[in-house]
Each structure stands twice: as C-alpha cells, then as structure tokens.
Amino acid sequence: MEDMRCSYGDFVRTGPNEISIFKPEAVRALDGVGTKCSKSAWYDIMQPRVSLATTRDKGLHHERRKIWERAFSPAALRDYESRLNHFAIQLQQVIRQSNGSSIDVSKLFYLYSFDVMSDLAFGEPLNMLISDENHFVVGLLQDGMDLLGPLSPVPWLVRIGLSIPYVASNFKTLLAWSAKKLQYRIQNAPLKRDVKVMSWLLEASRETGSSIKDYNWLRGDAFALIVAGSDTVASTLVSIFYHITEDPTQVSKLRAELENLNSPLDTHALGGMSHLNGVINEALRLHPALPSGGLRQTPPGGINIAGRFVPGNVVVSAPRYSLGRRESHDH
C-alpha cells in the first residue's frame, strides 16, 4: 500500500469500487463521531453471526454498545484486575526462568494474551503460559487470518467459501470452538454474575428474556472477544518490546518512571505516566494492530474527504500504517 501511495498519490483506486485515502483528514471522515460513512459489506462475512464490531446497523450498534459498556465500566474493570495480575505474574515468571537467555517473545505474548482473553471471556484459561505450548485455537486463528486477508476485497467470495463443506475448515473449527464455549457458559450460568465479560452479555439477554433471539449476537460477540482482544494485544506487545530492545535508553526511562508505582494495578497512576503511555502510543503509530484500517462505505450521495469528492456507495479506507509513518506527521 505504501508503494502504491508513493507511485499514485494520496487517493488510490485499489479495486473496481474501492479507494484508499492516505490523508489524515480521512480518519475523522470515515471513523469519527457523526461520520456519514457506514461499515462495508466486508463486515457481513460472519453472518448469521453478528457482533458489536461487525454490525452495519448504527441503531443496533448503539443499543448493543450499551450492554458492552456495562462489561467495561470502571467497576467491572476493577473486578478483572486480579485476573489480569494473575497472568501478568505468570508471564513474569516465565521470563525470569529464561535466566537471561534469549526467548521468543512473539510466541510468549500470544500465549499470554490468549490465556487472558479466554479467561475473561469464558472463565477458562487455555493454560498456554504454563504449558509453553500453543493451544490449537491459535493456529486456527492464524490460518483464518491468512484466508481473510487476501480475500478482503471480495467478501462475497468468503461468504460462499464458508458455506461450502471442507473449505476453510480450520476457520470453521475455530468458530465451532467459540460457540461450544459459549454454549457451556449459557448452560452453566452461575446464580449471580461472575467476573467474566460474557457474563454481562448473557445477563442482559436473560433480563430481557431474549437469549434465544440474541443467540447469533452472543455467538458473534464471543468470537470477536477472543480474536480482537488477543491478537491485537499480542502484536502490540511485540512491537513495544522490539523498539525498547533496539533502544535500551527507553528501558532505563521506563524503569525510572515505574519505580514510583505503588501497585501494578493502580490504573490511575499508570494513566498519568507520560513516558509509558508515550511508548505505547508510538508503538501503535508505527505498528497499528489493524494496519489497513477498517473498510467503510460512503453514503449514497457521496462525501467530500480532504477536499476531494468521493461518489456514493464506494468502499474507502484510510491505511493507518502508511498514515502513521508519513514524514509530515512526525513531531
């Protein structure tokens, strides 16, 4: 994508009905509050499953978001802290056991993030940090991403492929695994809500008597929770540690700042640490978890973006990887 920008400029036609826009104004136009654009047909590939991340209906998204906000309220986040700390200690112990020898942190961070998200979602950690082995779902997810990436410009072909037996079998196995975990949670729901993200979603469906009606929402949200919460965190941790090992002075600055921390669970103090948050934000700028950005569709009447008119019903994107590395954006 970056080579295409260098060759053709800031507005590049990347498909019969697709334009990639390499202007910072495009981010607000496509994803900002009050945007007139909507999610593209790519987000329908999981149908009939639908989730907060994939629904194209803004009204339904608004209603579903209210439920998710309960699961990530300040009080709910405090409930999760002990679980997060448990896995952080496990990660620390594994690193210490290396006794200074080199270790594969890419693998280690994936083990960590999948353990965390499986526990928060379903209350069942995959115990990969302890076993030092990938759970089969990690391989299935990576196989699925290999399928979805190249076929993103033709989402209808993905839908057809998923409907054909033996095609994308690994990805279908991953979907079945998350559905099985969800079904177990539904059938073995505790009398009172426990410390799981899915507990909030299940409780909301029970309160309204819509568990059956919401089943495809629950299936979609369960899958999104595991995938979006684990893969993105792992890749970001890899990026951060790559850069701080390349520049050891950053390690010294981070240690000096963290020495003033009374507890690793003090989120208020962590939020005020300028260098720590600067490192995180810089890693996300250089290596965004979703390098291409989400695909959006322009409104029927078209829209002006960065001084250019884009016709209606055109698929557009603002590639974050390229935008974050433009020299004009450096500070």
Round to whole Å and give the CA distance between 220 and 238.
Answer: 27
Number of H helices and number of E strands within the chain? 15, 7
For residues 193 and 199, is the Cβ–Cβ distance under 8 A?
A: yes
Greatest CA separation for the chain: 62
Q: How far apart are CA 76 and CA 78, in angstroms?
A: 5
Per-residue confidence (pLDDT) for residue 194, from 0 to 100: 63
pLDDT in tens, the chain (331 residues): 888 888 899 999 988 899 999 999 999 999 999 999 999 999 998 889 999 999 999 999 999 999 999 998 888 888 888 888 999 999 999 999 988 888 899 999 989 999 999 888 888 888 889 888 877 877 777 766 666 667 777 888 888 877 888 777 888 888 888 899 888 888 876 645 566 888 889 989 988 888 889 999 999 999 888 888 888 999 999 999 999 999 999 999 999 999 989 888 888 899 999 999 999 999 999 999 988 889 999 999 999 999 999 999 999 999 999 999 887 654 4
pLDDT number for residue 15: 87
Q: Is 63 helix (H, G, I), strand (E, B) or coil?
A: helix
- What is the model's pLDDT at position 190? 63
Question: Within 10 Å of residue 53's Cβ, how many Cβ atoms?
Answer: 19
Dihedral Cα 103, 109, 114, 116, nearest 10 deg:
110
pLDDT score for 241: 94
- Crossing angle for the helix pair 169-187 and 197-207, to the nearest 10 degrees: 60
Sign of CA dihedral 142, 289, 222, 131: positive
